Amino acid sequence: MSQAGINSSQDIRAIVQQVIAELRGASAPGAPVPSLSPVAPVSFAGRHGIFASVDEAVRASQEAFEQLEKLGLEGRRKAIAHIRRISIDDSAELGRMEFEETKIGRLEHKIEKLKVLGERSPGVEFLTSEVFSGDHGLAVIEHAPFGVIGAITPVTHSLPTITGNAVSMIAGGNTVVVNPHPSGKRVAAEGVRRFNQAIQRDIGIDNLIALIAEPTLDTAAELFNHRGVKLICVTGGPAVARAALQSSKRAIVAGPGNPPVVVDETADLDRAARSIIYGAAYDNNLLCIAEKQVFVVASVFDRMMEAMERAGALRLSAPQVDRLTQRAIVMVGEGAHRHPAPCKDLLGQDASVLAEAAGAAGRAGLELVFGETDVSNPFVPTEQMMPFLPFVRCQNADEAIHRAHESEHGFRHTAIIHSHNVRNMTRMGRLLDTTLFVKNGASVAGLGLGGEGYISFSIATPTGEGVTTPLTFTRQRRCTLVDDLRILGSPE
């Protein structure tokens, strides 16, 4: 090698050493020293999860994923603790923001949903490993992350869905990019910003949750198709559920429901009425699990209507029900896809607003309006998402269960029965085949509110994962050790 060559390689070494020294000097105390890879990666730290471009959001999410991997389970635990804390401590402020932005539902429930998610969404404790031990040694099955998950969230629970998804997905070791519903994008961004800021301050990782600030159907499609996204999780109605099921990526689909209720002649009618009002009026009927239509056996029908009034609901007369139906249900779609749907300006509105639309007098504190309809009333097949319930008179429990089945459209989402007849419960459970089946309680008991179990606002019905947990967002990996490590057996 020539003298000139030696000199230039010494020069290069000197320059590299100088750059390393400068980078060390520029780092905050205790911050990791940046690696000198040939092409220095762009860091997205400081964005606190808010992105204009899907590609940048996914790259930031990948960067965060790689950093999270290095911190192990403890890093996940710490990140989740911040999401829980903010969800509880800021619930009043964030709940009000969601209410004011989306203009649907009930303020007290917007707040309560965030609190409950902070308290009861499942975390890393769900990630138990399985072990097979035998003559040939050990096999351990562990639950590994997918990587970057693309999530689509609904307007009915914008920040709560993101909160529950983030806890479960991060507990599973993943990161997430969210394309929120455009009508709930501001509260989504505010929550995501707060979560990321607190997490970064504590464990030094930003963008564990990334969000598309101006979401559209195009950004949703871009997220579905981005090669950096390893798994999709959608929560929403029929269109997005279909799009996800047709996607080439593995999808977890929390799709629509239209939960029917059956009340038979053995039910405790007052308890049934209180439960139906609590579940159906919760957040003005926005929940996908909420009671949407009620089938009552004729021999107790009139007494059940009286029980509903005693429990505080307002009964509409037949002309009032007709008037409300005309105002509240519209036809949408073309040709074979034409179907009834809730009218946007009554969706998620208060019971008093519905009463007035029906020509009845509303009153302060009114939670639910209801009335007798026949099975052809469009409220029966429609997921109305407003606090009016149609009650249909049925000859017997068989007819009620059969009509409940028809009205659920095979979504296999949620069904409720009020009965003390085990055969009716069993028949309904078998026929409707739903992910959630609640007996003698409000629908929300199926998510652990007044019942047992944990909560998530993504209930994966068509793809079968059920009420999602951290395990939903993991893939199994098996590690096999042949012959050794098993301590049972005779000494050598």
What Rg do the C-alpha atoms of the chain give, in angstroms?
27
Is 312 or 451 the residue whose CB approaches ligand NAD more closely?
A: 451
DSSP string, 365-419: T---EEEE--TTSTTTTS---SSEEEEEEESSHHHHHHHHHHHTTT---EEEEE-
CA proximity to 261, closest of 411, 427, 416, 369: 416
Give the one residue of 257, 260, 340, 390 binding ligand NAD; rule: CB under 6 A: 257
Site residue total, ligand NAD (CB under 6 A) = 25
Chain-centroid distance of CA 291 in Å reads 18
Rounded to a whole number of angstroms, the minimum distance from the CB of residue 175 to ligand NAD is 19
Handedness of CA 79, 81, 87, 89 (dihedral sign): negative
Binding segment for ligand NAD (CB under 6 A), chosen from 50-58, 151-159, 335-343, 476-484, is 151-159
Site string for ligand NAD, 161-180 (x = CB under 6 A): -------------------x
Binding segment for ligand NAD (CB under 6 A), chosen from 28-36, 54-62, 147-155, 359-367, is 147-155
Residue 295's H or E segment, with its range, is: strand 293-297
Rounded to a whole number of angstroms, the minimum distance from the CB of residue 219 to ligand NAD is 9
Give the one residue of 76, 113, 181, 186 binding ligand NAD; rule: CB under 6 A: 181
Assess 383 for contact with ligand NAD (CB under 6 A).
Answer: yes
Rounded to a whole number of angstroms, the minimum distance from the CB of residue 231 to ligand NAD is 16
Is 329 or 360 the residue whose CB approaches ligand NAD more closely?
A: 329
Assess 458 for contact with ligand NAD (CB under 6 A).
Answer: yes
Assess 116 for contact with ligand NAD (CB under 6 A).
Answer: no
Assess 252 for contact with ligand NAD (CB under 6 A).
Answer: no
Site string for ligand NAD, 214-233 (x = CB under 6 A): ---x--x-------------
**Residues 231-250, interacting with ligand NAD (CB under 6 A):** 235-237, 239-240, 243
For the record, the structure tokens of 349 come out as: 């509105």
Handedness of CA 276, 278, 280, 281 (dihedral sign): positive
Give the one residue of 255, 348, 381, 387 binding ligand NAD; rule: CB under 6 A: 255
Distance CA 227, CA 225 (A): 6
251-254/339-342 β-pairing: unpaired
Rounded to a whole number of angstroms, the minimum distance from the CB of residue 457 to ligand NAD is 5
Is 123 or 257 the residue whose CB approaches ligand NAD more closely?
A: 257
Assess 259 for contact with ligand NAD (CB under 6 A).
Answer: no
Determine the angle formed by the axes of helices 318-328 and 351-358, rounding to 10 degrees.
110
Rounded to a whole number of angstroms, the minimum distance from the CB of residue 239 to ligand NAD is 4
Is 253 or 392 the residue whose CB approaches ligand NAD more closely?
A: 253
For the record, the structure tokens of 338 come out as: 């034409």
Rounded to a whole number of angstroms, the minimum distance from the CB of residue 8 to ligand NAD is 55
DSSP string, 419-467: -S-HHHHHHHHHHH--SEEEESS-GGGGGTSSSSS---S-EE-TT--EE
For the record, the structure tokens of 448 come out as: 């652990």
Assess 390 for contact with ligand NAD (CB under 6 A).
Answer: no
Assess 457 for contact with ligand NAD (CB under 6 A).
Answer: yes
Task: Compute CA distances 48 → 93, 165, 255, 364, 375, whole Å.
Answer: 19, 17, 29, 41, 50
Q: Please, which residues bridge with residue 163 across strands? A: none
Rounded to a whole number of angstroms, the minimum distance from the CB of residue 157 to ligand NAD is 6
Rounded to a whole number of angstroms, the minimum distance from the CB of residue 184 to ligand NAD is 8
Is 301 or 457 the residue whose CB approaches ligand NAD more closely?
A: 457
Assess 459 for contact with ligand NAD (CB under 6 A).
Answer: yes
Binding segment for ligand NAD (CB under 6 A), chosen from 9-17, 251-259, 262-270, 334-342, is 251-259
Rounded to a whole number of angstroms, the minimum distance from the CB of residue 102 to ligand NAD is 9
Distance CA 10, CA 181 (A): 57
For the record, the structure tokens of 145 come out as: 């992350």
**Residue 128: other Cβ atoms inside 10 A:** 10
CA proximity to 210, closest of 151, 254, 146: 151
Rounded to a whole number of angstroms, the minimum distance from the CB of residue 234 to ligand NAD is 6
Assess 434 for contact with ligand NAD (CB under 6 A).
Answer: no
Chain-centroid distance of CA 403 in Å reads 28
Q: Which residue is nearest to ligand NAD (CB)?
A: 236
User: For residue 428, what are the contacts with CB-CB under 8 A and spacing of at least 6?
Assistant: 262, 401, 404, 415, 417, 437
Q: Interface with ligand NAD by CB under 6 A: which residues?
A: 152-156, 180-181, 217, 220, 235-237, 239-240, 243, 254-257, 288, 383, 457-459, 461
